[in-house]
Chain A
Amino acid sequence: MEEKTLIVEDLCAGFPTLRGEVCVLDHVSLEVAKGKITGLVGESGCGKSMTARAVMNLIRFPGRVTSGRILLEGQDLGSMGKKERRMLQGQEISMIFQDPMTSLNPVMKVGKQVDETVLLHEHVTRDEAKKRTLEMFEAAGVPDPERRYHCYPHQLSGGLRQRVMIAMAMICRPKLLIADEPTTALDVTVEAQILDLMKEMSRKGTGILLISHNLGVIAQVCDDAYVMYAGKIAEQADICTLFDHPAHPYTKGLLSAVSSLRNGCETLKTIPGNVPDLSRLPAGCCFSPRCDCCRQECKEKAPEMREIGPGHSVRCFAAEGVTAE
């Protein structure tokens, strides 16, 4: 059995609104294995960023986690004290965000910012911290680390800033790294470099939860992936199974949209309709209004996750698994 770095069990989160409680995460369960990269895919508003923030304990009033467990290497994060939980951030779990410009302090030199991270979590001298920072910069592929150490964020390009963020996130050797759309704001040539870097980090034992709406990124880098829709996990499989034999109609729709673009079809495939308003979800399966194989039972009952193959689960009544070949 693989060792699991992160286990999320039945996580629910929501906001109170004038129309009642809106459920943003509905019984989300996922796992990230040690040394593997797990993808979390979905379009905007599906709840993937929210899941990441829940794991990082970043959901604030008026939003809140209503139920579920988060286990980091077996340890229940919910049962920890506040201080203990806070100390975990940056040390055992780290996160990198889409726009490094807003996540880095614009008035502090980047070297110093990374130093601060070390000094916060470990008892080392300033000189030792600086040494670690420079080592980390090199590992993250920052060219000329000595010089960049003294730069401000705005003096660095987007790709370099993201590398600094990665250095900052990795410097305390966390067990889990959550990357929320880390390359979306980057140019495609730089994106390739950052993805290579992430693959290397996972090889060294860090579990990575990679969140993206870009199926290309997910395909190139992840070992397995979860597809989210309207706050629920719709499908989960290892990466090749997901792309070769998608079971959920939503996954199929996404993949055919992407492939029709790549293949240059005359009319591109789309998923009809729009992403639902989470405060007004339809009865039954939340994807049913847009699904072309929707049956009567789909409109009445909400499907549960069921396993249709080894390591392949889907939340759909109509989906069939791949027969063993």
Chain B
Amino acid sequence: MLRKKEKQIVAAFEHRAGDEIGEQETFGVLMRRMLRENKLAAVSLLVIILMFLCMALAPMLTSYGETDMDLLNRLQPPSGAHLLGTDEGGRDVLTRLLYGSRVSLMVGIVPTLLSMVLGALLGVVAGYRGGLTDTVIMRLADVVLAFPSMLLAMVIMYTLGGGLFNVFLTLTLMNWGSVARIARSETLRLKESEYVEAARSIGVSGWNIIRRHILPNCLPTLIVLFTLNVPAAILTESSLSFLGLGIQPPSASWGLMVNTGRQYLYNAPWLSFAPSAAIMVAVLSFNFLGDGLRDVLDPRQRKQ
């Protein structure tokens, strides 16, 4: 307890703005500040941008096609012709990595984002309104959470069939429950804070209270949750693809490549290493960026 007090006193010295005139803090200003102060976040953002570029420019970066097979050159180690070697079908690993990034990144980000938005909205409304709204939303969330996730995914995918869009839908439906739970508990906590009481006493409408006072204060938790869920989504997708429910071979995704590469771990380790490294880089970048965003969005965390 005392050590925390120490840190608070130090923080209080750091944050007294003194001479600076406060500037209006638009998103642009905040982003620039984050990039200036948090080198790790800046590097991560760069890496993510690079990954997106690879994703978009894949056809230009490689002369091979995604599914060009070359059975004479199966399982070749990295060489001049194939920078990351070839896989069990003679396809160029680097090419598949680049094309696979499209699937994996999209699958990592889009459903996570969608489930965050859906879950946060439902959770906050449930927490703030309480009563029947709360019960209904939370019971729905409980149902989703109670299903073993893979089972749920399989059920949805069997019903709807394979394909990327259905994978998105499945992942969104699987994940909104835990987000809603967390958003609701944050809302319940924030609802009791004195500044919410002050807003009510001013006469601010419920919707505006949620918008101005509750959601912004939920943001740090939600951002961290986002960075945790992105890699989980990537890995879930890979399991689904492995089971034949997601991306169908011969299309590529990083997760699928890791799984098929497992069989050849001893004689062709590059098949697993390359996509694993790619997943790791993506995951870490999102984590660091998430930390940076969370810090910069919290007025109290800013360093001078």
**Direct A–B touching, Cβ under 8 Å:** yes
- A residues near B (Cβ < 8 Å) are 15, 17-19, 22, 24, 53, 58-63, 102, 277-280
Structural contact, A18 and B6, CB atoms closer than 8 A? no
Q: Which residues of A contact B18 (CB under 8 A)?
A: 277, 280
Q: Is B13 an interface residue (CB 8 A)?
A: yes
Structural contact, A61 and B1, CB atoms closer than 8 A? no
Tally of A-B residue pairs with Cβ under 8 A?
38
Structural contact, B1 and A62, CB atoms closer than 8 A? no
Q: How far is the CA of A278 from the CA of B13 in the complex (A)?
A: 8
Q: Which residues of B contact A22 (CB under 8 A)?
A: 13
Structural contact, B13 and A17, CB atoms closer than 8 A? yes
Q: Which residues of B contact A62 (CB under 8 A)?
A: 6-7, 10
The 3 closest A-B pairs by CB, nearest first: A279-B13, A60-B3, A63-B6
Q: Which of B1-46 contact A (CB under 8 A)?
A: 1-3, 6-7, 9-10, 13-14, 16, 18
Q: Which residues of B contact A15 (CB under 8 A)?
A: 6, 9-10, 13
Q: How far is the CA of A62 from the CA of B6 in the complex (A)?
A: 7
Smallest distance from the beta carbon of B250 to chain A beta carbons, Å? 55
Known: A18-B303, A102-B1, A277-B18. A63 touches B13 (CB 8 A): no
Instruction: Specify the main secondary structure of chain B where it touches its partner.
Output: helix
Q: How far is the CA of A173 from the CA of B9 in the complex (A)?
A: 33
Partner of A58, one of B2, B9, B14, B303: B2
Known: A18-B303, A18-B304, A280-B18. A53 touches B2 (CB 8 A): yes
Smallest distance from the beta carbon of A44 to chain B beta carbons, Å? 11
Q: Which residues of A contact B9 (CB under 8 A)?
A: 15, 24, 63
Q: How far is the CA of A15 from the CA of B10 in the complex (A)?
A: 7
Q: How far is the CA of A61 from the CA of B63 in the complex (A)?
A: 58
Structural contact, B6 and A277, CB atoms closer than 8 A? no
Partner of A17, one of B2, B3, B10: B10
Q: Which of B62-106 contact A (CB under 8 A)?
A: none
Q: Which residues of B contact A63 (CB under 8 A)?
A: 6, 9-10
Partner of B14, one of A17, A53, A61, A102: A17
Which of B1, B6, B304 gathers most chain A CB within 10 Å?
Answer: B6
Contacts beyond the supplied A15-B13, A62-B7, A278-B13: 5 A-B pairs with Cβ under 8 Å: A15-B10, A63-B9, A279-B13, A279-B16, A280-B18
Question: Contact flags (1/0) for B95-125 with A, using CB distance below 8 Å?
Answer: 0000000000000000000000000000000
Q: What are 17 residue pairs bridging A and B, where the CB atoms are less than 8 Å apart in the complex? A: A15-B6, A15-B9, A15-B13, A17-B10, A17-B14, A18-B303, A18-B304, A19-B304, A59-B6, A60-B2, A60-B3, A62-B6, A62-B10, A102-B1, A277-B16, A280-B16, A280-B18
Q: How far is the CA of A279 from the CA of B304 in the complex (A)?
A: 13
- A64's nearest neighbour on chain B, judged by CB, is B6
Question: Contact flags (1/0) for B144-178 with A, using CB distance below 8 Å?
Answer: 00000000000000000000000000000000000
Q: Which residues of B contact A53 (CB under 8 A)?
A: 2
Q: Which residues of A contact B10 (CB under 8 A)?
A: 15, 17, 62-63
Smallest distance from the beta carbon of A24 to chain B beta carbons, Å? 8
Q: Which residues of A contact B16 (CB under 8 A)?
A: 277, 279-280
Q: How far is the CA of A74 from the CA of B304 in the complex (A)?
A: 45
Q: Which residues of B contact A19 (CB under 8 A)?
A: 13-14, 304
Q: How far is the CA of A59 from the CA of B2 in the complex (A)?
A: 8
Structural contact, B2 and A18, CB atoms closer than 8 A? no
Smallest distance from the beta carbon of B76 to chain A beta carbons, Å? 54
Structural contact, B3 and A61, CB atoms closer than 8 A? yes
Structural contact, A61 and B6, CB atoms closer than 8 A? yes
- A60's nearest neighbour on chain B, judged by CB, is B3
Q: How far is the CA of A277 from the CA of B18 in the complex (A)?
A: 9
Smallest distance from the beta carbon of B8 to chain A beta carbons, Å? 11
Q: How far is the CA of A61 from the CA of B303 in the complex (A)?
A: 19
Smallest distance from the beta carbon of B11 to chain A beta carbons, Å? 9
Q: How far is the CA of A24 from the CA of B13 in the complex (A)?
A: 11
Q: Which residues of A contact B3 (CB under 8 A)?
A: 60-61
